[in-house]
């Protein structure tokens, strides 16, 4: 925490530049948090075959860094989660998440998606975003057999509702990470869409020799209904996290 107490003079940065440096650093950190949330939350994969699913969320930044960020970056907004058949293969689905903020005012957005095979594994994934004057877009095939992107992994969780630990190999941004899914509890959850009883699942990285370690965290609350609707999702990254909560149907 000592770094947070540095003044411009102590840090070696000219005092008149210190504030702008810290603002840029804060924006960069928060952009990574929101990017992580977008990557980790294309969750509407448990709709029945042939069905189209669309869920609306309110998202907000939380945690230490999230509270600091309120004056320099958008700290809340809307998210839409869409899932539909791919129209090409039996059982294949396409899922997308789009996150926007009314505070941004410059057309900023994060959009992530994945194409899932019938067996739940990932064929390809894509992403695009516009954030603080930066734009990026790419689409990648997922070459390694038996690997799922996070959307497909959550699809499996919604289908299987594992009672015990479930190990997965997750593809994210071109890298593969071993993770474990654990059921924490069944608990009441209140979100804008109403009151629910939900199964709380936690996804964390596993330290495995010779493999990458996922440092993030994802908590997922699945309603005790037939599609196991994700009513709350929380993505952790460093000192900040993004929480998405289900909104009522329009």
Q: Minimal CA–CA distance to 150: which of 200, 98, 218, 92?
A: 218
Using the predicted structure, report yes or no on whether residue 61 has a pLDDT greater than 90: no
Using the predicted structure, report yes or no on whether residue 235 has a pLDDT greater than 60: yes
- Reported as a single tens digit per residue, the pLDDT across 9-51 is 444 545 445 445 444 545 555 555 555 555 554 443 355 556 8
Cα separation, 138 vs 23, whole angstroms: 28
Whether 111 contacts 125, CB under 8 Å: no
Whether 201 contacts 181, CB under 8 Å: yes
Q: What is the pLDDT of residue 112?
A: 76
Cα separation, 49 vs 245, whole angstroms: 25
Q: Minimal CA–CA distance to 155: which of 118, 196, 127?
A: 118
Categorise residue 245: left if φ over 0, alpha if ψ from -120 to 50, beta otherwise: beta
pTM of the model: 0.74
Using the predicted structure, report yes or no on whether residue 110 has a pLDDT greater than 70: yes
Q: For every residue of the chain, which 3-state class applies, written as one string? A: CHHHHCCHHHHCCCHHHHHHHHHHHHHHHHHHHHHHHHHHCCCCCCCCCCCCEEEEEEEEEEHHHHHHHCCCCCCEEEEEEEEEECCCCCCCEEEEEEEECCCCCCCCEEEEEEEECCCCCEEEEEEEEEECCEEEEEEEECCCCCCEEHHHHHHHHHHHCCCCCEEEEEEECCEEEEEEEEEEEEEEEEECCEEEEEEEEEEEECCCCCCCCCCCEEEEEEECCCCCCEEEEEEEECCEEEEEEECCCC
- Reported as a single tens digit per residue, the pLDDT across 133-145 is 677 777 788 878 7
Cα separation, 168 vs 180, whole angstroms: 6
Domains of the chain by residue range: 2-246
Q: Minimal CA–CA distance to 57: which of 233, 189, 236?
A: 233
What does the angle CA 53 – CA 137 – CA 26 come to, to the nearest 5 degrees? 95
């Amino acid at each position: 925490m000592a770094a947070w107490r540095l003044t411009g003079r102590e840090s070696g940065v000219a005092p008149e530049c210190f504030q702008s440096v810290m603002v840029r650093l804060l924006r960069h950190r928060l952009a990574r948090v929101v990017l992580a949330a977008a990557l980790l939350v294309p969750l509407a994969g448990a709709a029945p075959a042939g069905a189209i699913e669309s869920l609306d969320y309110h998202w907000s930044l939380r945690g230490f860094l999230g509270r600091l960020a309120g004056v320099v970056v958008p700290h809340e907004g809307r998210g839409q989660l869409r899932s539909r058949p791919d129209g090409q293969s039996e059982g294949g689905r396409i899922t997308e998440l789009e996150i926007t903020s009314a505070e941004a005012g410059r057309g900023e957005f994060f959009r992530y998606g994945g194409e899932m095979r019938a067996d739940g594994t990932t064929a390809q994934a894509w992403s695009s975003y516009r954030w603080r004057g930066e734009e990026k877009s790419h689409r990648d095939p997922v070459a390694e057999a038996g690997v799922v992107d996070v959307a497909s992994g959550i699809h499996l969780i919604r289908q299987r509702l594992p009672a015990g630990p479930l190990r997965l190999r997750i593809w994210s941004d071109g890298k593969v990470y071993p993770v474990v899914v654990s059921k924490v509890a069944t608990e009441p959850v209140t979100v804008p869409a109403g009151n629910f009883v939900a199964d709380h699942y936690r996804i964390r990285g596993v330290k495995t020799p010779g493999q990458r370690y996922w440092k993030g965290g994802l908590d997922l609350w699945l309603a005790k209904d037939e599609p196991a609707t994700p009513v709350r999702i929380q993505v952790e990254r460093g000192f900040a996290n993004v929480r998405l909560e289900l909104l009522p149907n329009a």
